[in-house]
């Protein structure tokens, strides 16, 4: 043993039912445990092509430039914004939680003229509100979060996107918590740029951020007046690697890509619609069980995410203590509230492998015990 006296890791088994990361299928972990091949090995290049093909299907897009950025969801967010936003651009950001706020903060760092459409945490952004903001502000870019993980709210993109398309603004959509869990239609909705993450409803560990740029987004990048203010996220350089030229840019995290490949393969084997339905079924079971326990949702029925459930902490209960008990006694992780919702809600994730009736039942039984 070295003088540091450190033992090998003994990683605890958890049932992850929080806001992510989510449970990962064994076959994904198996693939990720294989020895790396070179990131320019012909085998890896063909695997990259399959990942791109499968991602297009999962995003429901024909965008050629669809690939996983190396990094977590925030890396994909940064990728979209550094390429598409120039100083002084008027950018309208919809904010109803932490992640809309993060997009606005990032756009400010890029020198954009940021305008916000803010609604209270726990409410959704609605078509009449967006229409008014678009008419008043005439933004060049609109950025929205589809599934606001901090509150469990779904913004109704099917109703908001036609307004953005009519306005002619470039549309950036955060699909971090929606992709693979609820319907996402990048082409049908006229989304120009989107970013997601592997550790939510895709069901792989964190580390990659699938992104997709429309031909219009690529054209906007090519016509920039200013340089892209990033080297790592420069989409033209990344296109050199993920496109057909295969020019070295950075060393792609091979094993994360093995995992993503298997996760996407499993999604397509299950079928997108079956997967969305499975997430919904798990939600229905949770809803019934929570009501039997006398617990209430924080979010309204019609805009509630099936994969991320914000539940009110019962009056007088110490939410952190109960969460700790769930983890210590039952090995189950659920999430706390963030920002103004700290101490007031729990966030129960039903994502990927966690969106199964047996997981919901285990959580409900354990929750009943800790609430006694």
The total number of residues shown for the chain amounts to 372
In angstroms, what is the minimal distance from the CB of 210 to ligand PLP? 11
If one asks whether residue 144 binds ligand PLP (CB under 6 A), the answer comes out as no
Q: Is 99 in the site for ligand PLP (CB under 6 A)?
A: yes
Shortest CB 187 distance to ligand PLP, Å: 21
- Taking CB under 6 A as the criterion, the residue among 24, 55, 81, 145 binding ligand PLP is 145
Structure tokens at 89: 């651009």
Residue pair 275/180 in contact (Cβ under 8 Å)? The answer is: yes
Q: Which stretch binds ligand PLP (CB under 6 A): 8-16, 70-78, 83-91, 223-231?
A: 70-78
Q: How far apart are CA 341 and CA 343, in angstroms?
A: 6
b/e sequence 178-193, b meaning 16+ C-beta within 10 Å: bbbbbebebeebbbbb
By CB under 6 A, tell whether 234 contacts ligand PLP.
Answer: no
Asked if 21 and 11 touch (Cβ cutoff 8 Å), the reply is: no
Whichever of 74 and 255 has its CB closer to ligand PLP, that residue is 74
Please work out, in degrees rounded to the nearest 5, the angle formed at the alpha carbon of residue 31 by the alpha carbons of 212 and 9. 110
Whichever of 59 and 99 has its CB closer to ligand PLP, that residue is 99
Asked if residues 78 and 129 have their Cβ atoms less than 8 Å apart, the reply is no
| Position 20 contacts ligand PLP (CB under 6 A) | yes
Q: Which stretch binds ligand PLP (CB under 6 A): 8-16, 174-182, 211-219, 282-290?
A: 174-182
d(CA 20, CA 18): 6
The window from 68-76, 158-166, 288-296, 341-349 that contacts ligand PLP (CB under 6 A) reads 68-76
CA distances (Å), 291 to each of 287, 294, 312, in order? 6, 5, 12
Please give the residue whose beta carbon sits closest to ligand PLP in the complex: 73
| Interacting residue with ligand PLP among 176, 348, 350, 355 (CB under 6 A) | 176
Give the residue with the Cβ less far from ligand PLP, 73 or 122: 73
With CB under 6 A as the contact rule, which of the stretches 67-75, 246-254, 284-292, 345-353 interacts with ligand PLP?
67-75
Q: Is 316 left (phi over 0), alpha (psi -120 to 50) or beta?
A: left
Nearer to ligand PLP, 60 or 74 (CB): 74
Which tokens sit at 227?
Answer: 């340089």
**What's the closest the beta carbon of residue 102 comes to ligand PLP, in angstroms?**
7
Judged by CB under 6 A, the residue of 78, 174, 262, 333 near ligand PLP is 174
CB nearer to ligand PLP: give 86 or 174: 174
Residue 73 in the binding site for ligand PLP (CB under 6 A): yes
Q: Which residues are annotated as a binding site for substrate?
A: 347
Residues in binding site: 347
**Cβ proximity to ligand PLP, 124 vs 149, nearer residue:** 149
Interface with ligand PLP (CB under 6 A), residue from 124, 149, 257, 309: 149
**CA 79 to chain centroid:** 14
Which of 101, 278 has the CB closer to ligand PLP? 101
Q: Which of 83, 167, 177, 257 binds ligand PLP (CB under 6 A)?
A: 177
CB of 100 to ligand PLP, least distance (A): 8
Burial 321-345, CB ≥16 within 10 A → b, else e: ebbebbbeebebbbbbbbeebeeeb
Q: How many residues bind ligand PLP (CB under 6 A)?
A: 14
CA dihedral over 100, 104, 105, 110, signed as positive or negative: positive
Among 61, 72, 83, 194, binds ligand PLP (CB under 6 A): 72
Is 206 a residue that touches ligand PLP (CB under 6 A)?
yes
CB 221 within 8 A of CB 85: no
Residues within the interface to ligand PLP (CB under 6 A): 19-20, 72-74, 77, 99, 145, 149, 174, 176-177, 197, 206
């Amino acid at each position: 043993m070295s003088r540091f006296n450190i033992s090998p890791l003994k990683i605890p088994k958890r049932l992850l039912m929080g806001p992510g990361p989510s449970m990962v299928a064994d076959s994904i972990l198996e693939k990720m445990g294989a020895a790396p091949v070179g990131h320019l090995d012909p085998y890896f290049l063909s695997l990259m092509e399959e990942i791109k093909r499968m991602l297009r299907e999962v995003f429901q897009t024909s965008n050629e430039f669809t690939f996983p950025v190396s990094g977590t969801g925030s890396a994909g967010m940064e990728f979209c914004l550094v390429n598409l936003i120039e100083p002084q651009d008027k950018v309208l950001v919809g904010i109803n939680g932490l992640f809309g706020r993060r997009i606005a903060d990032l756009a400010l760092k890029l020198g954009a003229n940021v305008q916000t459409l803010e609604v209270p945490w726990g409410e959704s952004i609605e078509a009449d509100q967006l229409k008014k903001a678009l008419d008043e502000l005439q933004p060049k870019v609109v950025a929205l979060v589809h599934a606001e993980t901090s509150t469990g709210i779904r913004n109704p993109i099917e109703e908001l996107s036609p307004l953005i398309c009519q306005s002619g603004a470039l549309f950036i959509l955060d699909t971090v918590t929606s992709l693979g869990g609820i319907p996402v239609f990048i082409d049908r909705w006229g989304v120009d740029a989107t970013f997601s993450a592997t550790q939510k409803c895709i069901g792989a560990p964190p580390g990659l951020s699938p992104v997709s740029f429309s031909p219009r987004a690529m054209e906007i990048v090519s016509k920039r007046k200013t340089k892209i203010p990033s080297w790592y996220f420069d989409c033209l350089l990344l296109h050199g690697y993920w496109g057909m030229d295969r020019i070295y840019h950075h060393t792609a995290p091979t094993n994360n890509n093995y995992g993503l490949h298997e996760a996407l393969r499993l999604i397509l084997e299950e079928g997108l619609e079956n997967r969305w339905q499975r997430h919904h079924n798990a939600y229905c079971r949770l809803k019934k069980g929570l009501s039997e326990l006398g617990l209430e949702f924080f979010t309204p029925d019609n805009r509630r995410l099936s994969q991320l459930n914000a539940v009110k902490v019962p009056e007088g209960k110490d939410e952190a203590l109960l969460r700790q008990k769930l983890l210590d006694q039952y090995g189950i992780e659920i999430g706390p509230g963030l920002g103004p919702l700290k101490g007031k809600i729990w966030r129960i994730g039903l994502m990927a492998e966690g969106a199964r009736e047996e997981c919901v039942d285990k959580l409900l039984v354990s929750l009943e015990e800790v609430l006694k």
